[in-house]
Structure 1
């Protein structure tokens, strides 16, 4: 990630929960490449060993195989840590609808365990993955941080509860917290497989295999798709900011533009056709709208720009070029 440096007088130990996951492993990589010590906590429910394989030989990297639902694991992971980047969660709206209890155990009870352990270990700051799903049925666009609606899924409820707990812990115990509401993140190491795979890697895999991707609905639903390097930048800025007014709050993490699903498939075909021209001939199937889906999502990133100096480098077009290169090199059968 260009343009962001850690201006530390000494090396700090950063705990990345869910560090073997898509976003977590990219954070681990950036932190290590910039001279920091990194401790990863993961139970590999959704994270993958291969994501952190390159780090295991690095003396500045350590792995704790544990579960955030276990308070003792959280305490061990937080010991002597200076900062926590909390990414561990069970994502996916459909997964939460199918199994709300497990989503709640991981995303709420696990989150509370981590907050408590971080407080007791006196970490400098607790930066956590929040979600754009918190905006729920709010109709206004773009989404601004202080105006939300009612949640539309169990997953959205869990992520909103995270924000409430973080706010109370900041006010009650004095721990610094920052929540990052991610908007449809994509990029290298994002898993294309499984029932709850994100739309971009899933579509890429299908198109590379000349299979027709299925769009839920007529393709008019739109999202603020956000490349991974923008997200890494935001996490680092949230971690190191020394502005008093920048902490104990939440931020949107996005690029600030929206793309509908029909246009998304067109961009994917265009980028993949560089490697295989036959992909342009693959047809798209339209299915039913998915339960709990928000029709349109677009973020205002003005708060992040003003308070943290956020400067997202990658639009969806630029991000997809980078992502497709990685997908083509790593995901082909």
Structure 2
């Protein structure tokens, strides 16, 4: 098989059995994190100053890993995470994943890559689609190239928004007192050949659900391109890559806003009595929630078995047992705070929005031997405590 001479790295890289050949002919394997339990690795986290990336960086640094984060700090609030990262010995590099020259500023010896960089708002994608696609798609290809040339296993943070909204809307559902539910009885009555693949009314949406045909949002499109690129690179270059399709992620330290991070935004708005609005479905729309502690724990488990993965896809979410409607979130917060806030309702549904989604976690649970452990009730207690401890700064940030 032909080789590619890459002078910058002084390596002749062969696309054979996942190895490269050095100039002197010796064979160089993939970085050690792909083959054994990773006791201490030099890890790059792109988008590492953001909500998820910064928490993952701190967690990994506490496990004796050397961590470098690269971030362009375009997300409001991400700069406030830099002090905490520095306290934990995490190296910060200002850079943009869209710019290949920014990768040249990274320290040498990186052994593992976690790509958490993204423009994460579904709503924002419609106002600036080119930014979504260049950042979320082209940016990931830049990260893949960096990982390929440096022989690094890669974990990519994808999204459940890759699944086709039109197919999701076709699933039978019914309206309950506080939430919309998938209708198991109506599902059973459908002819087997008419039932959507990758769906179970009790467990939710699995990795086999449709990604072709119909809308998924501009954001979803941008992540689907990146998702597919990761799978293709894994097979083309025998790269150890895991693709995680996350749903709603929430936790303390999240600078949430109306169009992204709704769980923490709902808590902040109730705490400061800021006005809210149910947009579509009268507040009965349902999502499952995966809390940040579980995200980090699942990623750490994957890091220890990367030799098993070649573009493997995992749906990671809170699952049916950790699902919540907006109305139920309102009731929970009113009970915990002893007060509510003004909430209006709008019938119009946002483009590519869904009345119900929760994740079928069974593949990940079987392979990684772990389920989500943090419950909604205890996590809301922690979120509210975080708001109390940071009341002054949050009040200023949100104009409360």
Matched, 1:118 2:151: no
Which residue is equivalent to 1:211?
Answer: 274
* Structure 2: distance between partners of 1:297 and 1:196: 17
Cα deviation digits, residues 120-156 of structure 1 (max 9, x gap): 0111x10011001112223344101022244421110
Q: Which has the higher strand share?
A: 2
Structure 2 residue aligned with 1:22: 51
Aligned counterparts of 2:38 and 2:71: Cα–Cα separation in 1: 29
SS in 2 for 1:224: strand
Which residue of the other structure, out of 225, 228, 247, is the alignment partner of 2:292? 228
| Equivalent of residue 177 in structure 1, options 230, 241, 252 | 241
The equivalent position to 1:48 in structure 2, one of 78, 96, 117, is 78
Superposed, which structure 2 residues align to 1:153-172 within 5 Å? 153-172=217-236
Match of 2:352 in 1: 292
Q: For residue 128 of structure 1, what is the aligned residue in structure 2?
A: 156
Query: Residue 17 of structure 1 contacts residue 41 of structure 1 at CA under 8 Å; is this kept in 2?
Result: yes
Given that residues 254 and 264 in structure 2 are in contact (C-alpha distance below 8 angstroms), is that contact kept between their aligned partners in structure 1? yes
Say whether 1:248 aligns with 2:248.
no
How far residue 242 of structure 1 moved from its aligned partner, in angstroms, is 5.2
Pair 78,98 (structure 1): closer, same or farther in 2 beyond 3 Å: farther
**Corresponding residue of 1:3:** none
Query: Which of 262, 266, 272 is the equivalent residue of 2:327?
Result: 262
CA RMSD of aligned residues (A): 1.9
- Specify the alignment match of 1:4 in structure 2: none
Give the Cα–Cα distance (whole angstroms) in 1 for the partners of residues 371 and 127 of structure 2. Answer: 37
Q: What do residues 96-135 of structure 1 show as CA deviations (whole Å, max 9, x unaligned)?
A: 1111000001001100000011100111x10011001112
Aligned match of 1:143: 205
**Separation (CA, whole Å) in 1 of partners of 2:57 and 2:345:** 38
State the alpha-carbon separation in 1 of the partners of residues 210 and 103 from structure 2.
30
In structure 2, relative to structure 1, the CA distance for the partners of 1:80 and 1:94 (3 Å cut) is: same
> Residues of 1 paired with 2:38 and 2:112: CA distance?
15
Q: Contact (CA 8 Å) 1:15, 1:78: kept in 2 or not?
A: no
Rg (Cα) greater in structure: 2
CA distance in 1, matches of 2:38, 2:368: 20
Counterpart CA distance in 2 for 1:175 and 1:9 is 17
1:120, 1:219 → 2: CA distance? 48
Contact 2:242–2:311 (8 Å) recurs in 1: yes
Q: Which moved more, 1:310-319 or 1:29-38?
A: 310-319
TM-score, structure 1 normalization: 0.89
SS in 2 for 1:300: coil
Deviations 1:264-293 (A, max 9, x none): 12122223x1xxx3x23x232112322221
Q: What is the match of residue 92 of structure 1?
A: 121
Structure 1 residues not aligned, in runs of 5+: 1-6
Question: Whole-Å Cα distance in 1 between the matches of residues 50 and 239 of structure 2?
Answer: 26
C-alpha separation between the residues in 2 aligned to 1:209 and 1:180? 34
- After TM superposition, the structure 1 stretch with the greater mean CA deviation from structure 2, 293-302 or 148-157, is 148-157
Structure 1 residue 315 displacement after superposition: 2.4
Q: Is the 8 A contact 2:138 2:226 kept in 1?
A: no
Q: Deviations over 1:12-52 (max 9, x none)?
A: 11111111100011101101111111000000011612213
Q: Deviations over 1:51-90 (max 9, x none)?
A: 13122144x4211100001012235437421111100011
Structure 2 Cα separation of the partners of residues 160 and 78 of structure 1: 30
Q: Is the 8 A contact 1:19 1:25 kept in 2?
A: yes
**Using the alignment, how far apart are the partners of 2:226 and 2:303 within structure 1?**
18
| C-alpha displacement of 1:10 | 4.8
User: Gapped runs of 5+ residues in structure 2?
Assistant: 1-35, 169-198, 396-400
